[in-house]
Amino acid sequence: MGKLISIVVPVYDEADGILEFLDDGLLPIIKNLKYDTEIILVDDGSEDKTLEKIKSSKLLNKTLVNVISLTRNFGKEVALTVGLEAANGDATIMIDADGQHPVEEIPKMISKWEDGADVVTAVNTGNTTKHKIRSKIYYKIMHVTGNKKVMPGAMDFRLLDRAVVDEFNQLTEHNRLTRGLIDWLGYKQEYIKVKTRGRKNGKPTYNTKKLAGLALDSMVSSSRTPLVFFGYLGAFITVFSLIFGLFILIEQYILGDPLNLDWSGAVAMSVFVSFLVGLVLVSQSITALYISQIHAEAKGRPLYVVNKKKSFVSKNGKK
């Protein structure tokens, strides 16, 4: 029995472009692969006609297609997790359904896997100026917070060996960043440079607000640096305040103000108190992020819920 390649595709409100992606993009590629393939489409609670469009795809007549429909929008990271848990392949490729990831790079990924790579990651070299700025800010934050192994421009467009998928499926955290968890596993990783394309249909589901939230979640979930940073900052402010307070005390009251600074005790105290109160509030907000993640993990809720009425498996046109 030959090897199997699984292709995991998270889908959310892609009715306008899903057929173009499946029939014009993915289908010609898998026809020329020397391996058997299975396509896992994870519908992340789409509210348009995405599922109806999928059912009319020519792809269903050519290969195994497993459509998993979630009861609501759980987010892309969870959708990828669902797909990886369902994947049976010797290697699994993750790719977005919006057409921005170049499907023609899939054979190159498989070639690097055949040469021994456990993870093959696509690195984007074709972003617009706006996206480049956002990407640089994101990866700068990752480096500053201790994630030194993060490759700038790395995307979720990846190939994972079976061993990597099996280990990934053992991870249990709810607040997850798929690419960060894959990097954390530490398997041998190779990179390919690609140029993403602009979205042809529909609207992007990841706006600046969501990307900022993703960056914040990944920072908090993968690093203790913010807590350590504010701990050091608090210690510095405390020592500085003590020294500055002693200076005011000695200069103003012991030496009789020889520098003619005419310090007002109330003003000086107000400045110190206001600054320290602000520091406490910021520190508490950072601590609250960690507590919220502990709270989410402690609840023990399932990571996702599958809508069994809408999900189906199709092979050679049988639904």
CATH topology of domain 4-210+302-314: Spore Coat Polysaccharide Biosynthesis Protein SpsA; Chain A (3.90.550)
> Would strands 189-194 and 4-11 be described as parallel, antiparallel, or unpaired?
unpaired
pLDDT at 256 over 60: yes
pLDDT at 319 over 60: no
Encode pLDDT of 165-222 as tens digits: 999 999 888 778 888 889 888 899 999 999 887 766 656 665 556 666 666 666 666 5
User: Are the C-beta atoms of 3 and 90 separated by less than 8 Å?
Assistant: yes
Return the bridge partners of 64, or none.
38
Q: In terms of DSSP H, where are the helices of the chain?
A: 18-19, 27-31, 50-55, 76-86, 106-114, 129-144, 162-168, 178-185, 208-222, 225-248, 265-299
pTM above 0.85? no
pLDDT at 119 over 80: yes
Distance CA 11, CA 45 (A): 8
Encode pLDDT of 282-302 as tens digits: 777 777 777 767 766 776 666
Encode pLDDT of 236-254 as tens digits: 777 777 777 787 778 777 8
- Residue bearing tokens 């609250």: 288
Distance CA 192, CA 66 (A): 28
